[in-house]
Chain A
Amino acid sequence: MTPGKHSIDTARAANAGVWGTGPPQAARERSWSATPHSVANMPISPPGSRKQPPSVGLTVGPQVRKSISFISTVKGTQTKGYAGANQSRMAMSKTMMILPEMKIEKMNISSPKMRDTQVIDVNGVDVTPRPLYHPDPHTVTTKPNKILTSQEGSLGSEFISSYSLYQNTINPSLLGQFTRSALGSSTISKSSVSTTESIAEDLEEPSYKRERLVSYTDLRVVRTTPEKIVTKEDLEKNIEIILTETETLRFFDLPTVMVSVESEEAEKVNQRNRNYETLCKNRAGNDLYVERMMQTINGAPKTKEVQCHKIIMEDKGIMSTAWDLYDSYNAVELSSSSVKPSKIESSKANIPSKDRDQRVPGSTTEKNSEASSLMDIENVILAKIHEDEEDHSEAILKSDKFHQDLFFMERVLMENVFQSKLAAYRQLPVLKEPEPEEPEDSLQGEELEEVEEEVKKEEEEEIEIGTEQSKIPANLERLWSFSCDLTKGLNVSSLAWNKANSDLLAVGYGHFGFKEQKRGLACCWSLKNTMWPERIYQSLHGVTAVDFSTGSPNLLAVAYYNGSIAIYNVQSNSNIPVLDSSESPQKHLGPIWQLQWIEQDRGTTGDDKREILVSISADGRISKWVIRKGLDCHDLMKLRRTTTSTNKKGGEKEKKGEALISRQAPGLCFAFHPKDTNIYLAGTEEGHIHKCSCSYNEQYLDTYRGHKGPVYKIAWNPFCHDVFLSCSADWGVIIWQQDNIKPFLTFYPTTYVVYDVVWSPKSSYIFAAANETRVEIWDLHISILDPLIVNVANPGIKFTTVLFAKQTDCLLVGDSDGQVSVYELRNMPTAIDSGRGDVIYKLLGPKSNHSG
């Protein structure tokens, strides 16, 4: 027998995992007889003895070595256990682990030493098997394992070692023995094992490792049975033996090869057997079964050489970053949408490179790949598209993104320069550079420094005004000014803040006088860029009034000296007005002096507030403009010249018989009541202030007479709604109370025309007035005789407009040189909140009606 021949079966057996055989093969057929032989010498250790001399198993020597003989003695087991060590190991382990049925155990206990085991068959023949394995006494076994605690060392090892020697058949045979409990003698072998198992707990035998049992390759079995001296007490001690039944483990199953004649398969089996017999008969001398040689025609080999391109290997390293992964994932999703942009870009790229030749397709595709690829552009440097780069660079300069970047850059530069000023404006703590601080007025030059010094001197003189809190008097500190080359030389005629974005300022440039007329300009300035306006709207005529809309904060209404109104949308970059009134038949014929967006309650009709544009012009009309299909206007009031005959309430008597050129009085300013938008005041060139209502367009409700010259500005007090302020060319500023047609308080600080007055949004006592030479800030709470702060202008420059900043303590002053300067009010006396509405009463008490 050779392992080779058996190998097939082994494999089959292994694969089947069953210890049974395949179809019986002729060569291997054995007569299976149930022999009572027990296969091996089961080394059974007596409970008492622990030692097992290795020589025990030597009785069955030569016979043992033949595996075949074993097979014959084994009933039914033909397993060629050439299965790999695993298989046999498994078997072995199984054998070792099995605790067979109870009845077997009974016999086990009483089983004596192996030597004493005698197997006698029915005929009384001693068929005691002889041990297969004769272990080397000098081999040392390894440390035992608890798995087989009961296993007697030497016995087990012998058993195992016998297995290991014969690596195969023994296991199945033994196993066969185990499963066939019919074998009486075999039970002993079984029982020996089971004994060991069953009395596992009691015997404190060192057990051999399971691996021990299954390591067939290792012929050296080490036995280290510890010595334990058995005392008399031990022997007499009651040993408790607990017998338990295990489950039935099936580890060998050999299907029977005999079939009953009466079964259903009998016919088939018979047929098969007959076929087989015929086959065997035919086999002898049959051509089919003869070994023959054949010669195949071998083709003549031929060597052929092939050369391939050199395989270029390149090492590429890339750092896999989180964004790279993100881009790659998104690239898959956006691959469809990126086709479109790449197409667009290819068309763009094609246009500049139209005149190029063959390189165009290649290069544009390169550009496409550049544009739509998500890889680093650094890797796509190609010299051949250098020519196209020139066009590409032009495209860069024209691109929107570049434009935007330039925009931001400019603002950043501004911020660098003006950071401290802007911080002061926004009332943030001013950060100081560690280097020497830049001088404040470095922008404009020395002349303004002189102004500053002058102001300071004046402030020192004015200390006697006495601010209650701080020792440093209130002053105006100049932060910066909005000016650029375009605006140089123009007169600032109006200022207006944007209602939505408080950083945006609209400035109108235009001269007041008829002879001084030049071109006009309306600019939108942003705080973030003080050197260049965001929007520039040029026109032929001077701009006399500007205002931002409240309802749509992007609309800017500009009024011109020629009486027309234009509405611009500041969101777009275009210079063309959205609406223009030049074609309207009812447009004003004289310069429009004031323009304002008013939100009017519809009142009775129940509509929500609608915004209208109201203008007053020198042709004596106050018009309301409505935006429908174009600018359409509707007269609110026609200002008529008032003569003494119409006004009987008193006042000065005018000369009779004065020839009136026109019955219309030019209107210069108006102011709607902050609460009741039906009522408004209008100032005329005559010096009269008329209180009118939108409901009546013929009659005035009241006339306030006090000024002797044209009234340039009227302003309602934002907190106390009864009080309003007016300034005129007669050098005076008058405070009126609504119910009283006589002036309440008058101020004649200088002998110059007062162009503009405005109340402070923070306190009801403070207002600012701009006359030709200086800007004054009055605080009625402190003094009604002198202004709190006076800021003198440069010689030659007139201050024409003032405006308070909304959130911060800053004042904007426009002058006749095209500059809008921003001043910060410093050290102002803190406003007393309670005084908001009480200005009249407070002033009324100690000072009665001051006749102006």
Chain B
Amino acid sequence: QTEVEETLKRIQSHKGVIGTMVVNAEGIPIRTTLDNSTTVQYAGLLHQLTMKARSTVRDIDPQNDLTFLRIRSKKHEIMVAPDKEYLLIVIQNPCE
């Protein structure tokens, strides 16, 4: 457990990372370093996107599944590690 905490801390202190959050399947944040409203917004939007992405991947081949999702935008990159029960979201600015 402490390893988990340590890893989370390391990720948060990584270069360029703006925020880290762990939300459960309903969008309720479990751990977050951003404020609540932003977290809830991110969680809701990314949840839907993840569902869609997973649906797409599985439509093409039902035995496949989504493991990781990265969205690179002009300002930063959003990385989502989806699961049935939670979403791990990290927002990073890769170029500082």
CB distance from A150 to the nearest CB of B (A): 66
B84 and A377 form a contact (CB under 8 A): yes
B88 and A416 form a contact (CB under 8 A): no
Quick one: closest B residue to A415, CB to CB?
A: B94
Residues of A within 8 A of B7 (CB): 403, 406-407, 410
Quick one: closest B residue to A329, CB to CB?
A: B62
Q: A321-B58, A323-B59, A397-B22 are in contact. Are A409 and B95 (CB under 8 A)?
A: no
Q: How far is the CA of A599 from the CA of B90 in the complex (A)?
A: 46
Quick one: which of B6-64 are within 8 Å of A by CB? 7-8, 10-11, 14-17, 22, 24-26, 28, 30-31, 51, 55, 58-60, 62-63
Stretch at the interface among A388-396, A577-585, A779-787: A388-396
Residues of B within 8 A of A378 (CB): 25, 51
CB distance from A67 to the nearest CB of B (A): 71
Contact with A381, one of B26, B59, B85 (Cβ below 8 angstroms): B26
Quick one: closest A residue to B77, CB to CB?
A: A416
User: Cβ of B73 < 8 Å from any Cβ of A?
Assistant: no
CB distance from A158 to the nearest CB of B (A): 70
A417 and B15 form a contact (CB under 8 A): yes
Q: How far is the CA of A492 from the CA of B16 in the complex (A)?
A: 29
CB distance from B46 to the nearest CB of A (A): 14
Quick one: which of A480-517 are within 8 Å of B by CB? none
B59 and A401 form a contact (CB under 8 A): no
Contact with B85, one of A376, A396, A409 (Cβ below 8 angstroms): A396
User: Cβ of A412 < 8 Å from any Cβ of B?
Assistant: yes
| Most interface-central of A389, A405, A407, A442 (chain B CB within 10 A) | A405
Residues of B within 8 A of A416 (CB): 16, 77, 92, 94
Q: What is the size, in residues, of chain A's interface with B at 8 Å between Cβ atoms?
A: 39
Contact with A397, one of B26, B31, B62, B96 (Cβ below 8 angstroms): B31
Stretch at the interface among A113-121, A431-439, A627-635, A837-845: A431-439
Chain B 74-91 near chain A by CB (<8 Å), digits 1 or 0: 000101010111101010
Q: How far is the CA of A376 from the CA of B55 in the complex (A)?
A: 11
Quick one: closest A residue to B57, CB to CB?
A: A323
Residues of B within 8 A of A417 (CB): 14-16, 94
B22 and A396 form a contact (CB under 8 A): yes
Q: A377-B25, A407-B7, A408-B68 are in contact. Are A413 and B14 (CB under 8 A)?
A: yes
A436 and B10 form a contact (CB under 8 A): no
A322 and B83 form a contact (CB under 8 A): no
B62 and A326 form a contact (CB under 8 A): yes
User: Cβ of A720 < 8 Å from any Cβ of B?
Assistant: no
A396 and B86 form a contact (CB under 8 A): yes
Q: How far is the CA of A730 from the CA of B59 in the complex (A)?
A: 70
B3 and A321 form a contact (CB under 8 A): no
Q: How far is the CA of A409 from the CA of B69 in the complex (A)?
A: 10
B10 and A409 form a contact (CB under 8 A): no
Q: How far is the CA of A406 from the CA of B86 in the complex (A)?
A: 12
Q: A393-B30, A417-B14, A435-B95 are in contact. Are A406 and B62 (CB under 8 A)?
A: no
Q: How far is the CA of A408 from the CA of B55 in the complex (A)?
A: 22
Residues of A within 8 A of B88 (CB): 402, 405-406, 409
Q: What is the size, in residues, of chain B's interface with A at 8 Å between Cβ atoms?
A: 41
Quick one: closest B residue to A410, CB to CB?
A: B11
Residues of B within 8 A of A321 (CB): 55, 58-59
A409 and B81 form a contact (CB under 8 A): yes
User: Cβ of A700 < 8 Å from any Cβ of B?
Assistant: no
User: Cβ of A537 < 8 Å from any Cβ of B?
Assistant: no
Quick one: which of A412-450 are within 8 Å of B by CB? 412-414, 416-417, 433, 435-436, 438, 442-443
User: Cβ of A327 < 8 Å from any Cβ of B?
Assistant: yes
Residues of B within 8 A of A532 (CB): 10
Contact with A322, one of B28, B51, B59, B84 (Cβ below 8 angstroms): B59
Residues of A within 8 A of B15 (CB): 417, 442-443
Quick one: closest B residue to A442, CB to CB?
A: B96
Residues of A within 8 A of B60 (CB): 322
B17 and A413 form a contact (CB under 8 A): yes
A438 and B95 form a contact (CB under 8 A): yes
User: Cβ of B4 < 8 Å from any Cβ of A?
Assistant: yes
User: Cβ of A28 < 8 Å from any Cβ of B?
Assistant: no
CB distance from B65 to the nearest CB of A (A): 9
Quick one: which of A141-189 are within 8 Å of B by CB? none
Q: How far is the CA of A327 from the CA of B55 in the complex (A)?
A: 12
Quick one: closest B residue to A383, CB to CB?
A: B26
User: Cβ of A292 < 8 Å from any Cβ of B?
Assistant: no
User: Cβ of A679 < 8 Å from any Cβ of B?
Assistant: no
Quick one: closest B residue to A403, CB to CB?
A: B4
B4 and A406 form a contact (CB under 8 A): yes
CB distance from A59 to the nearest CB of B (A): 81
Residues of A within 8 A of B84 (CB): 377
CB distance from A11 to the nearest CB of B (A): 57
A412 and B62 form a contact (CB under 8 A): no
Q: How far is the CA of A405 from the CA of B22 in the complex (A)?
A: 11
Q: How far is the CA of A410 from the CA of B3 in the complex (A)?
A: 13
Q: How far is the CA of A402 from the CA of B87 in the complex (A)?
A: 9
Q: How far is the CA of A397 from the CA of B20 in the complex (A)?
A: 14
CB distance from B32 to the nearest CB of A (A): 12
Quick one: which of A506-546 are within 8 Å of B by CB? 531-532
Q: How far is the CA of A408 from the CA of B70 in the complex (A)?
A: 12
A392 and B4 form a contact (CB under 8 A): no
Q: How far is the CA of A95 from the CA of B83 in the complex (A)?
A: 79
B86 and A402 form a contact (CB under 8 A): yes
A409 and B11 form a contact (CB under 8 A): yes
Q: How far is the CA of A401 from the CA of B86 in the complex (A)?
A: 10
A410 and B10 form a contact (CB under 8 A): yes
Residues of B within 8 A of A397 (CB): 1, 4, 22, 30-31
B79 and A405 form a contact (CB under 8 A): no
CB distance from B5 to the nearest CB of A (A): 8
Q: How far is the CA of A413 from the CA of B94 in the complex (A)?
A: 8
Q: How far is the CA of A407 from the CA of B84 in the complex (A)?
A: 18
B92 and A413 form a contact (CB under 8 A): yes
B62 and A396 form a contact (CB under 8 A): no
A412 and B70 form a contact (CB under 8 A): yes
Residues of B within 8 A of A406 (CB): 4, 7-8, 11, 81, 88
Q: How far is the CA of A443 from the CA of B16 in the complex (A)?
A: 12
User: Cβ of A398 < 8 Å from any Cβ of B?
Assistant: yes
Residues of A within 8 A of B1 (CB): 397-398
CB distance from A326 to the nearest CB of B (A): 3
Q: How far is the CA of A402 from the CA of B30 in the complex (A)?
A: 12
Contact with A393, one of B3, B16, B24, B95 (Cβ below 8 angstroms): B24
B90 and A409 form a contact (CB under 8 A): yes
Q: How far is the CA of A199 from the CA of B86 in the complex (A)?
A: 89
B30 and A396 form a contact (CB under 8 A): yes
CB distance from A387 to the nearest CB of B (A): 12
Quick one: closest A residue to B5, CB to CB?
A: A397
Residues of A within 8 A of B3 (CB): 403
Quick one: closest B residue to A325, CB to CB?
A: B62
Q: How far is the CA of A124 from the CA of B84 in the complex (A)?
A: 104
Q: How far is the CA of A565 from the CA of B59 in the complex (A)?
A: 54
CB distance from B29 to the nearest CB of A (A): 9
On B, residues with C-beta under 8 Å from A are: 1, 3-4, 7-8, 10-11, 14-17, 22, 24-26, 28, 30-31, 51, 55, 58-60, 62-63, 67-68, 70, 77, 79, 81, 83-86, 88, 90, 92, 94-96
A-B CB contact pairs (8 Å), 25 listed: A321-B59, A322-B59, A323-B55, A323-B58, A325-B62, A326-B63, A327-B62, A378-B51, A392-B24, A396-B22, A396-B30, A396-B86, A397-B4, A397-B30, A398-B4, A402-B83, A403-B4, A406-B81, A408-B68, A409-B79, A409-B90, A410-B7, A410-B14, A413-B16, A413-B90
On A, residues with C-beta under 8 Å from B are: 321-323, 325-327, 376-378, 381, 389, 392-393, 396-399, 401-403, 405-410, 412-414, 416-417, 433, 435-436, 438, 442-443, 531-532
Q: What are the 7 A-B residue pairs with the smallest beta carbon separation, nearest first?
A: A323-B58, A326-B62, A405-B81, A416-B94, A393-B30, A323-B62, A322-B59
Further pairs besides A397-B22, A406-B7: 14, Cβ < 8 Å: A326-B63, A389-B28, A392-B24, A393-B30, A396-B30, A405-B88, A409-B88, A413-B11, A413-B79, A413-B90, A413-B92, A414-B14, A417-B14, A438-B95
